[in-house]
Amino acid sequence: MSYLNASVGLKARQPVIISGLALVAAAWIGKSLASRLARGKKTLYEPSPGKTLIPALSKDEIQKLPYPPDALPGGRDVETPYGSIRVYEWGPEDGERVLFVHGLTTPVIGIGDLATEMVRKGYRVMMFDLFGRGYSDAPRDTTYDERLYMSQILLVLASSTTSWMEKPGFHLVGYSLGGALSVVFARYFPHHVRSLSLITPGGLVRRHHVGWWSWLYYDSGLLPEFLVRFLVRRRIRPTTGTVSKPIDGDGDVNGGVGFGGAAISKTRPHVTVSEVVAWQVDHHQGFVPAFLSTIRNAPIYAPQEHWNVLSRILETRRCGKRIYASDTEPPAGLEGGKILIVLGKDDGLVVWNETVEDAYAALGRDGVEFVTLDGGHEIAIASSIKVAESIEGFWKSI
């Protein structure tokens, strides 16, 4: 739906919206004031459930959480000026390195099976919860844009006792929002990125997938921020359980029918994506603000300059060009001069034929390779073996 049509729809629904304001404003203001008083002196970040929830639970209660802090091997908490980051790193220390970046709403446990598959193949993997998700804190008074997320990736890389930045670099794998962020990282630090693989990535999502509710909440400026947060919290909190249904009815987080009902992990088949997202909404006070700011400021929707810059970088790799006259050899990174994009045939958000068309237009036919799998936006979660095979096959071909 276009913004023009959205505004027409909004006028027709104004009585409903206005009547709802009075019902929620007083309750939300009271809750907000109470929260601020209880919080005391303002800190630089909203603490994660690792600090607010876990200390009050027994071991049995922790293990029953949709996302317990030991769900993945090699966990550590990295203290930074932005708050703590939850990082997981495991696999053979001498294996090729693979860094994973997860999506918008589901923390890193969602692609834990994919990382586990790569470890079984002999790779060393590292992954982390983005700020405001899972067990990472949520910086306050900060815009959740590419600058914040690039800083977070660099902080994560620097936290390892193993040097991830030395040649030949590391493989970078991004899922959904993580795909969009990975393109930005590869654009600015191509010499550190051995290869780039994107799974149902953001960055090229066409604007017509943004419905009128998204326009109202994120772009219109018609509603006060406290009310937007209240409404978005209600909107993105899915109905939990095993019933397969969309997490959201609009283009911002709707991964399709199979997404919300997908099992979060082979080791936790009784837990769905919806349950993990609901847990974050309920127990991570920084989740909704981080989600809102990311939707508004991160490089999710087309057009994106980063893809065009990446295209020129890939071309230098394919042609073996030296960037500077003083260079003795072509620049390192992005081997083969092309990237991999893995798509789901039934993805309603990152639509495969639109993405193919737009990626070819941005990167050229020599700059990108595609793999299309059965499934929707959940393929990185539900089809981890096939995705891992596709990625490794790409690595061996370049």
**DSSP code per residue over 106-170:** S-GGGGHHHHHHHHHTT-EEEEEPPTTSTTS-EESS---SHHHHHHHHHHHHHT-SS-SSSTT-E
- Read off the pTM: 0.87
Please answer whether residues 195 and 394 qualify as being in contact, where contact means their C-beta atoms are separated by less than 8 angstroms: yes
CATH code of 31's domain: 3.40.50.1820
- Tell me what the mean pLDDT of segment 221-230 comes to: 91
Residue-level pLDDT at 208: 86
Higher pLDDT, 248 or 52: 52
- The pLDDT tens digits of the residues spanning 13-42 come to 444 444 444 444 444 444 444 444 344 457
Q: How many domains does the chain have?
A: 1
Residue-level pLDDT at 221: 86
- Cα separation, 387 vs 179, in Å, equals 14
Burial 127-165 (b: 16+ CB within 10 A, else e): bbbbbbbbbbbbbeebebebebbbbbbebbbebbeeebe
242 has a pLDDT exceeding 50? no
- Cα separation, 383 vs 364, in Å, equals 28
Please give the mean pLDDT across all residues of the chain.
87
Q: What angle do CA 314, 112, 184 make, to 5 degrees?
A: 25
Half-sphere exposure of 251 (CA within 13 A, CB side): 20
Domain that holds residue 269: 3-397
112 has a pLDDT exceeding 60? yes
Please answer whether residues 73 and 51 qualify as being in contact, where contact means their C-beta atoms are separated by less than 8 angstroms: no
Residue 209: band (very low, low, confident or very high) from pLDDT cuts 50, 70, 90: confident
- For residue 337, what are the CA distances in angstroms to 195, 198, 214, 314, 349? 9, 15, 36, 4, 27
Among 130, 128, 100, 104, smallest CA distance to 114 is for: 100
Measured distance between the N- and C-terminal CA atoms of the chain, rounded to whole angstroms: 40
3 has a pLDDT exceeding 50? no
- Tell me what the mean pLDDT of segment 218-233 comes to: 90
Report which residue type is found at 220.
S
CA dihedral 307, 311, 317, 323 (to 10 degrees): -100
Residue 39 has a CB neighbour count (10 Å cut-off) of 12
- The pLDDT tens digits of the residues spanning 308-349 come to 999 999 999 998 766 555 556 678 899 999 999 999 999 989
Residue-level pLDDT at 172: 98
Residue-level pLDDT at 325: 53
- Tell me what the mean pLDDT of segment 164-185 comes to: 96
Q: Which residue has the tokens 């604007």?
A: 207
Positive/negative CA dihedral, 369, 113, 173, 166:
negative
